Structure 1
Amino acid sequence: MGAMTESENPENPASPDAPVWEQRFRAPRVSLPEWAEEAPDRSLFVSNATGTYELYAWDRATGEQRQVTDRPNGTTDGTLSPDGAWIWWFADTDGDEFGVWMRQPFAGGADEPAVPDLAPSYPAGLAIGREGTVVVGRSTDEEGSTVHLVRPGGGEPVEIYRHRESAGVGDLSYDGSLVAVEHTEHGDAMHSALRVLRASDGSAVAELDDTKGGTEELGLTVLGFAPAAGDTRLLVGHQRRGRWEPMLWDVATGAETDLRLDLPGDVSAEWCPDGSGLLIVHGYEARSELWRYEIATGALVRVETPAGTVSSATARPDGSVEYLWSSAAEPPVVRSTDGGVVLDPPGPKAPPSLPVEDVWVEGPGGRVHALVQRPAEGEGPFPTIFEVHGGPAWHDSDAFASGPAAWLDHGYAVVRVNYRGSTGYGREWTDALKHRVGLIELEDVDAVREWAVASGLADPERLVLSGGSWGGYLTLLGLGTRPDAWAVGLAAVPVADYVTAYEDEMEALKALDRTLLGGSPEEVPERYAASSPLTYVDAVKAPVHISAGVNDPRCPIRQIDNYVDRLAARGAVHEVYRYDAGHGSLVVEERIKQVALDLAFAAKHLGTRPVEGPSGGSGADGPRSGTRATGG
């Protein structure tokens, strides 16, 4: 592939004449570059420069950039070998997330199967050692979770771990002798335990399990082995004080070094390259910041970043820190503490949007945090869209998002609710989401909706409930359980029929559903019925637009078809858009088309401003693989 240029795809021009909302999607973006540990001038990043998100190699010494992957539905899952000689990337089929690892020389050349003796699977972690050891995590419906080790020089992979419950590769030690595995053998898919294995024979070295010995289930996560030969310390994230914090665990001696950082929110960390300190990412109330922690002295030093969200960060060998930053108003940019922009993609820049304001509302489970954006013109009450985030273990933040910005451009207020189940507000808030799944989150959305109407922000006759993935699920559930509250519903890749979704989804998500609902559909049928949008479909009054990927392994198409058939059977007003991809799309024009369809659907039923674009009210032109069906 050639170097990244301003417009490699003639069907995807980043034209300044296009509507502002479309320009935000088409503007070239880049991820934070990953760098090879033994060759820091060699980097790998993701960009949408061609109109599809793909992997790019960047040689910092020469300045050369090269597109690595080129697939119809895009590629974002990749990494570098420590010596920088190889780029590994995961090859699935049209977004189904099921496939194999491929690799390509950094300088370019033919792709080849990275581990040819491993059958296709869902990925469950990957670690590549400096001395050539490779550890591959896999998940299949038939086998459950397995971890395989490939020794230096190749040879057949050796299975060193297997279990029916979810598990994955955490990290490989600096010298390649130890493998850290995150697992949920205890049956709680929301809280992992850790096991360290010898790479030589797969035998256990150490175990850390915070789910034992008490009534509270506490999760652990691997943050990385120390970057020095013979150093057996593992950086671990824990929840022992009600939020995510780092600690050091010496897997050889069992010694735990508690790092009590005086920060109020969730804390993640990575090793600085020389091992003397940690780069800290602190997330609190939908924003984040960076710190450096000195292990020897315990000193915590602020790394200055603008107010907003640091999506990712890395400490470089020269002592600088590179980070991907944005705010709701300002588009993302890769910055360095050395000053300036690290990686600036060619082409037009994304137009800015509008800032968020913080709103705290008393809900049935405690104070609910919402991020609110108001249109630039006019006074309320506005037509208002509630954009419900997915996950559910996720949260909306003060970060740039082209979707909400498009609704602002069309005169809507935008409200995003970090309901119970969201991350970033402590373990108790996240773990509140159990057994009454879906219903709990909607109670918090209801509380914010009532505030939005009472405050004069939102027009109660023009309220839109919208979301993707888990947010799409909550949208359909909300339309059925609160049919008089919402004027329009927009659900992307949703769970629509919980029982059928459980039957068809990947095994790891079945484990999560059993954790959330307390068992399988056979064991607790009443809970699945209470939490399934299909149970309430006959009560839906609002027109609903559904978009779905036909290859989606997370929210499979059959259960969506079941829901749509029930809508159609009673003549409910609905439209369905099916597209040839998985759980969302990595193609820019496909994303634009879906937002345009949503905008047009809402305008049609609310009488709001028609969608701005070359195709008028019918939405922007997009790939021809999608199909639309209407009813009612």
Structure 2
Amino acid sequence: MTESNGALRGDGHMPDWEKRFRAPRVGLPRWAEDAPDRSLFTSNATGTFEVYAWDRATGGLRQATDRPNGTTGGILTPDGEWIWWFSDTDGDEFGVWMRQPFHGGPDEPAAPGLEPSYPGGLALGRDGTAVIGRSTDKAGSSVHVVRPGAAPVEIYRHEQSADVAGLSHDGTLIAIEHTEHGDAMHSAIRVVRTDGTTVAELDDTRGGTEELGLSAMGFAPVAGDTRLLVGHQRRGRWEPMLWDAATGTETALDIDLPGDLEADWYPDGSALLVEHSHHARSELWRYDLADGALTRLDTPAGTVSGALPRPDGTVEFLWSSAEKPPVVRSTAGHVVLEPPAGADGVSHAPDSVPVEDIWVEGPGGRIHALVQKPAGEGPFPTVFDIHGGPTWHDSDAFVAGPAAWVDHGFAVVRVNYRGSTGYGRAWTDALKHRVGLIELEDIGAVREWAVASGLADPERLVLAGGSWGGYLTLLGLGTQPDAWALGLAAVPVADYVTAYHDEMEALKALDRTLLGGTPEEVPERFTASSPLTYVDAVRAPVYISAGMNDPRCPIRQIENYVRRLEERGHPHEVYRYDAGHGSLVVEERIKQLRLEIAFAERHLGRPSPARDRG
């Protein structure tokens, strides 16, 4: 029997659910454009996610960063000589770029003269130039060009959100995604020279009855080529096209696949690597630009969480499924990189159970949900594990949290509610003005199916989630008080008005888009969408975890909600930890889930857990 407190059993056996967290894993290696033998990846091998340097020519691996609360997002200069990484304070996402030599050496400020900020994109040129996007709560978004030995030069500033999205191969053109029009869900693209003067603008938010978004996917990897690969929504989904910033020529790409499409250039610019996402699964295709030939690459059923084409024409990709742990594969047929040895003796993550697809008719159309369940016959105590974002979606990918609940005898349901990506533009854009309430209508429809089908025990239904999922958890407990027996909310929005005033500027812009204005301009919408409005109606016990340094769901608004629970004498527990919007420390992640499971078992009783699979 698996121990719910996570301790080793008397026979020294570690539960499978903890092994899935502790097992060493690696992210997709990203290499220097002009030195493809030099790569960076992230790994949790030390127990904390950090950046590693990998010299493919020698096989040498080196841990490049080492910080108590972890590091992600290292970037290599095109020549592979320098590693850039972002240094914040305990997960608050506010800091500066640092750099160190690829083969090791002291860290140093990468852009002296730039004050700490939130990151807003980074592009590194072949001549040592860096283009740095940044934002602050008071000054909005800005873009700076930093040349070796010179002071940073600001070339762009606006009160609305903007990000650096690419630098041309010769370093003369910069792509900026911006939302100057005020709709943070639908970006426009401006291409500028390094002095900030405009070359071209592509904006699908103008002149139509609906606003459409654009995404810059990268300039052509060829000297003198001014084409930019652009994602657009003109036909009701995300798909790529080519846009020549110098001439204004747009080239549509006829890719006959049903789902959303993302793309990247092959290194010689002759073809595109297309990632096709459809109904919570993804696959890879090669699209040849000369003749439009579309060829499927050998990718197993499941989810590709990133892919890059190598100079030899092969593709490396990070793959997993709900049943099988992640691995970095190559289309040449081999595993690309084995994780470094783990710190606690766990060598691999045990398998979990596969997901089942269900479709439920809802008030806004058919809703797709993924279900995992333990062995035996239902009805089971059931966790509705709600994804964050909200513009995100759950997929057939390996996730240690849901697998842990299954090991403890719970069924797990994950709902891709309206607002989720992957089901067309209309589904994603349905999330406006009645924020939170729309998603909960879809979750409610799936809940009714789960009970009626015999999957879920109606007396032991748990609403749970992190970030936007934590927000929907608290809102659902208050607006659907008879539906849920328990709530587990991690880093949630709890008091929408206070959250708006305290959160980072980019999220203020998103909230203005979702709700149609500020709390002062549309107070009734913020009130209707705030969990704090309904806190007195909550009946189920509530568990909340919160990062003390979280810039996305700040602590003060969570404390406001908790205070109201305390005033009512309502059963609840709060766990506060010293990090930001989640943790990069493996033991901290395990601790948080252990506390959630224990809270659920105290209030709902302990179901019969599944047998370990390791």
TM-score under structure 2 normalisation? 0.96
Alpha-carbon separation, structure 2, partners of 1:601 and 1:370 = 25
Q: Which residue of 2 aligns with 1:587?
A: 585
The answer for unaligned runs of 5 or more in structure 2 is 1-6
- Deviation, 1:610, is 8.7
Q: Which residue of 2 aligns with 1:394?
A: 392
Q: Which residue of 1 aligns with 2:167?
A: 172
SS of alignment partner, residue 440 of structure 1: helix
- Residue correspondence of structure 1 range 221-232 to structure 2 within 5 A: 221-232=215-226
The amino acid of 1:150's aligned partner reads V
Identify the match of residue 322 of structure 2 among 312, 325, 328.
328
- Deviation, 1:609, is 3.8
Alpha-carbon separation, structure 2, partners of 1:441 and 1:120 = 36
The amino acid of 1:138's aligned partner reads R
SS of alignment partner, residue 341 of structure 1: coil
- Deviation, 1:16, is 7.9
Alpha-carbon separation, structure 1, partners of 2:184 and 2:326 = 33
- Residue correspondence of structure 1 range 58-69 to structure 2 within 5 A: 58-69=54-65
Q: Which residue of 2 aligns with 1:627?
A: none
Identify the match of residue 494 of structure 1 among 455, 470, 492.
492
The alignment-based identity, stated in percent, is 77
Q: Which residue of 2 aligns with 1:366?
A: 365
Alpha-carbon separation, structure 2, partners of 1:81 and 1:29 = 24
- Kindly provide the CA deviation profile for residues 214-233 of structure 1, in whole angstroms up to 9, marking residues without a partner as x: 11000001000001111000
Q: Which residue of 2 aligns with 1:137?
A: 133
Q: Which residue of 2 aligns with 1:566?
A: 564
Bigger shift: residues 41-50 or 142-151? 142-151
Say whether the 8 Å CA contact 1:600–1:610 is kept in structure 2.
no
After the TM superposition, list the runs of 4 or more consecutive aligned residues in structure 1 that deviate by more than 2 angstroms.
609-612
Alpha-carbon separation, structure 1, partners of 2:466 and 2:202 = 35
- Residue correspondence of structure 1 range 464-543 to structure 2 within 5 A: 464-543=462-541
Alpha-carbon separation, structure 2, partners of 1:134 and 1:579 = 35
Say whether the 8 Å CA contact 2:327–2:335 is kept in structure 1.
yes
Identify the match of residue 51 of structure 1 among 23, 47, 50.
47
SS of alignment partner, residue 343 of structure 1: coil
Q: Which residue of 2 aligns with 1:318?
A: 312
CA RMSD of superposed structures (Å):
1.4
SS of alignment partner, residue 336 of structure 2: strand
- Deviation, 1:85, is 0.1
Please say if 1:33 is aligned against 2:32: no
SS of alignment partner, residue 51 of structure 2: strand
- Deviation, 1:499, is 0.1
Bigger shift: residues 336-345 or 409-418? 336-345
Alpha-carbon separation, structure 1, partners of 2:350 and 2:200 = 51
Distance 1:555 1:423, change over 3 A: same
- Deviation, 1:154, is 2.8
- Kindly provide the CA deviation profile for residues 519-569 of structure 1, in whole angstroms up to 9, marking residues without a partner as x: 000000000000000000000000010000000000000000000000000
Identify the match of residue 244 of structure 2 among 233, 236, 250.
250
Bigger shift: residues 142-151 or 343-352? 343-352
Q: Which residue of 1 aligns with 2:460?
A: 462
SS of alignment partner, residue 429 of structure 1: helix
Alpha-carbon separation, structure 1, partners of 2:216 and 2:609 = 45
Alpha-carbon separation, structure 2, partners of 1:319 and 1:228 = 16
Alpha-carbon separation, structure 1, partners of 2:209 and 2:506 = 24
- Deviation, 1:611, is 9.1
Say whether the 8 Å CA contact 1:357–1:373 is kept in structure 2.
yes
- Kindly provide the CA deviation profile for residues 374-394 of structure 1, in whole angstroms up to 9, marking residues without a partner as x: 10x220000000000000000
- Kindly provide the CA deviation profile for residues 406-459 of structure 1, in whole angstroms up to 9, marking residues without a partner as x: 000000000000000000000000000000000000000000000000000000
Q: Which residue of 2 aligns with 1:603?
A: 601
- Kindly provide the CA deviation profile for residues 21-79 of structure 1, in whole angstroms up to 9, marking residues without a partner as x: 00000000100000001100000000000000000000000000000000010001211
SS of alignment partner, residue 360 of structure 2: strand
- Residue correspondence of structure 1 range 442-457 to structure 2 within 5 A: 442-457=440-455
The amino acid of 1:80's aligned partner reads L
Say whether the 8 Å CA contact 1:600–1:611 is kept in structure 2.
no
- Residue correspondence of structure 1 range 196-345 to structure 2 within 5 A: 196-199=191-194, 201-345=195-339
Please say if 1:187 is aligned against 2:185: no
SS of alignment partner, residue 200 of structure 2: strand
Distance 1:22 1:399, change over 3 A: same
- Deviation, 1:351, is 0.2
Q: Which residue of 2 aligns with 1:556?
A: 554
Identify the match of residue 152 of structure 2 among 153, 157, 161.
157
- Deviation, 1:195, is 0.3
Alpha-carbon separation, structure 1, partners of 2:254 and 2:413 = 35
Alpha-carbon separation, structure 2, partners of 1:178 and 1:99 = 26
- Deviation, 1:342, is 0.3
Say whether the 8 Å CA contact 2:261–2:277 is kept in structure 1.
yes
Structure with greater contact order relative to length (CA < 8 Å, sep ≥ 6): 2
Alpha-carbon separation, structure 2, partners of 1:338 and 1:108 = 31
Bigger shift: residues 602-611 or 327-336? 602-611
- Deviation, 1:583, is 0.1
TM-score under structure 1 normalisation? 0.94
Say whether the 8 Å CA contact 1:355–1:373 is kept in structure 2.
yes
- Deviation, 1:325, is 0.3
Alpha-carbon separation, structure 2, partners of 1:479 and 1:508 = 28
Q: Which residue of 1 aligns with 2:3?
A: none
Alpha-carbon separation, structure 1, partners of 2:481 and 2:376 = 29
- Deviation, 1:518, is 0.3
Say whether the 8 Å CA contact 2:81–2:101 is kept in structure 1.
yes
- Residue correspondence of structure 1 range 371-382 to structure 2 within 5 A: 371-375=370-374, 377-382=375-380
- Deviation, 1:130, is 1.2
Alpha-carbon separation, structure 1, partners of 2:22 and 2:403 = 14
Say whether the 8 Å CA contact 1:599–1:611 is kept in structure 2.
no
Alpha-carbon separation, structure 2, partners of 1:571 and 1:328 = 40
The amino acid of 2:214's aligned partner reads L
Say whether the 8 Å CA contact 1:599–1:610 is kept in structure 2.
no
The amino acid of 2:354's aligned partner reads P
Please say if 1:90 is aligned against 2:90: no
Distance 1:501 1:148, change over 3 A: same
Q: Which residue of 2 aligns with 1:546?
A: 544
The amino acid of 1:233's aligned partner reads R
Number of equivalent positions: 598
